[in-house]
């Protein structure tokens, strides 16, 4: 069973049909929507500030979500995929976004809807990503506009697949 822990009087809350791997960790002021999945070794730490997560969000293996004490919060929209070993820290991610494997999203970043942050990208503090953008590199920069075909083939497909994958495990 996943480690679900109260901190400073706040306990994580989960929507309908959420799945947590046995070694996932969720702590403190964290609220999930429906159909979310938190995968092996992922950590969602709402100990120092709040984390709000929409519907159909997958937080893949080894990813870390955290905030800065009394300064930044994490807010994530619907249909968001957080790739393996990504770090999402004190930022806002709107709906229909793919955060690639090993990407780092720092405090006060805002990623608008319908975007891809490439694997290994580093979004420096305060970066704003406009809708329909693909960002890559260190530091991350816009490399192109996200096409509707790539959106459907990657962003939407991955979010949908993770709902399916989690159904393979007992909920």
Burial class (CB in 10 A: 0-12, 13-18, 19+), 86: buried
Considering only CA atoms, which of 60, 64, 61, 83 is closest in space to residue 26? 64
pLDDT in tens, the chain (171 residues): 899 999 999 999 999 999 999 999 999 999 999 999 999 999 999 999 999 999 999 999 999 999 999 999 999 999 999 999 999 999 999 999 999 999 999 999 999 999 999 999 999 999 999 999 999 999 999 999 999 999 999 999 999 999 999 999 975
User: In whole angstroms, what is the distance from residue 93 CA to residue 91 CA?
Assistant: 7
Report how far residue 161's alpha carbon sits from residue 57's, in angstroms, rounded to the nearest whole number.
11
48/34 Cα distance (integer angstroms): 24
Query: How many folded domains does the chain comprise?
Result: 1
User: Cα(34)–Cα(15) distance, rounded to whole angstroms?
Assistant: 4
What CATH number is attached to the domain comprising 92? 2.160.10.10
Question: Residue 125, exposed/middle/buried by CB under 10 A (0-12, 13-18, 19+)?
Answer: middle
Task: Please work out, in degrees rounded to the nearest 5, the angle formed at the alpha carbon of residue 86 by the alpha carbons of 150 and 171.
Answer: 85
Q: Both tokens of residue 165? A: 């994958």
Domain that holds residue 20: 3-167
Phi, then psi, of 65 in degrees rounded to 5: -115, 130
**pTM for the whole structure:** 0.97
Nearest to 91 by CA among 78, 104, 102, 101: 104
Looking at residue 171, its pLDDT comes to 59
């Amino acid at each position: 069973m996943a480690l679900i822990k109260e901190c400073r009087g706040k306990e994580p809350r989960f929507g309908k049909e959420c799945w947590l791997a046995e070694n996932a960790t969720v702590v403190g002021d964290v609220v999930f929507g429906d159909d979310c999945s938190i995968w092996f070794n992922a950590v969602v730490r709402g100990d120092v500030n709040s984390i709000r997560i929409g519907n159909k969000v997958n937080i893949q293996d080894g990813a870390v979500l955290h905030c800065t004490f009394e300064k930044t919060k994490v807010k994530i929209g619907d249909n968001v995929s957080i790739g393996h070993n990504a770090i999402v820290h004190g930022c806002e991610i709107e709906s229909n976004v793919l955060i690639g494997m090993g990407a780092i999203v720092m405090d006060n970043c805002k990623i608008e809807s319908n975007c891809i942050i490439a694997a290994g990208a580093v979004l420096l503090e305060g970066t704003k990503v406009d809708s329909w953008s693909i960002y890559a590199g260190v530091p991350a920069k816009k490399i192109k506009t996200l096409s509707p075909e790539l959106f459907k083939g990657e962003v939407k497909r991955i979010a949908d697949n993770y709902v399916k994958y989690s159904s393979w495990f007992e909920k």
